[in-house]
């Protein structure tokens, strides 16, 4: 388990919110990472300029690297099966395309705009996560 605190969560949430508001007010775009990533790799064709999508996506690891430079690296360990991790990642990608967005697009940006579609998607994300944790804790996989 990562060493976290409420303050870290608050600061992280403020940073995510600030990025979402900046993108929305600055260029009128939703900060949905899966949509921006799809735009960068030309898997989606919307009216978001490629340069804006690429700048946002490139900024994600740069921001993480900046935090790691200030706070030091974070240790994380995955002791499960690597094939399960790969399949899970692919399923998340398919799910974001089917639902028209990811947790950042629906959960952060959509809920703040009171989008009914985002409420349904976010409830589905949370339910799927809870079911997954229950299955894993029960030793199902």
Cβ neighbour number for residue 34 with a 10 Å cutoff:
22
DSSP per-residue letters across 35-67? HHHHHHTTS---SS-HHHHHHHHHHHHHHHHHH
Mean pLDDT, the chain, whole residue set = 84
For residue 114, give both structure tokens. Answer: 């009171």
Average pLDDT over residues 54-73: 88
At residue 3 the predicted structure's pLDDT band, cuts being 50, 70 and 90, is: low
> Among 18-27, 82-91, 93-102, 120-129, whose mean pLDDT is lowest?
93-102
Interval 73-88: pLDDT, tens: 877 777 778 888 889 8
Average pLDDT over residues 16-41: 85
> How high is the pLDDT of residue 116?
93
> How high is the pLDDT of residue 37?
86
């Amino acid at each position: 388990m990562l060493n976290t605190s409420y303050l870290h969560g608050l600061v992280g949430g403020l940073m995510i919110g600030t990025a979402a508001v900046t993108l929305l007010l600055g260029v009128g775009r939703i900060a949905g990472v899966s949509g921006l990533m799809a735009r960068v790799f030309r898997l989606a064709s919307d009216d978001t300029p490629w340069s804006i999508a690429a700048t946002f996506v490139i900024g994600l690891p740069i921001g993480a690297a900046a935090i790691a430079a200030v706070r030091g690296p974070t240790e994380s360990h995955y002791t499960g099966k690597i094939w399960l991790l790969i399949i899970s990642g692919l399923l998340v990608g398919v799910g974001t395309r089917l639902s028209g967005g990811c947790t950042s697009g629906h959960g952060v940006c959509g809920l703040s705009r009171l989008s009914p579609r985002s409420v349904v998607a976010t409830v589905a994300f949370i339910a799927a996560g809870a079911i997954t944790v229950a299955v894993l804790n029960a030793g199902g996989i």
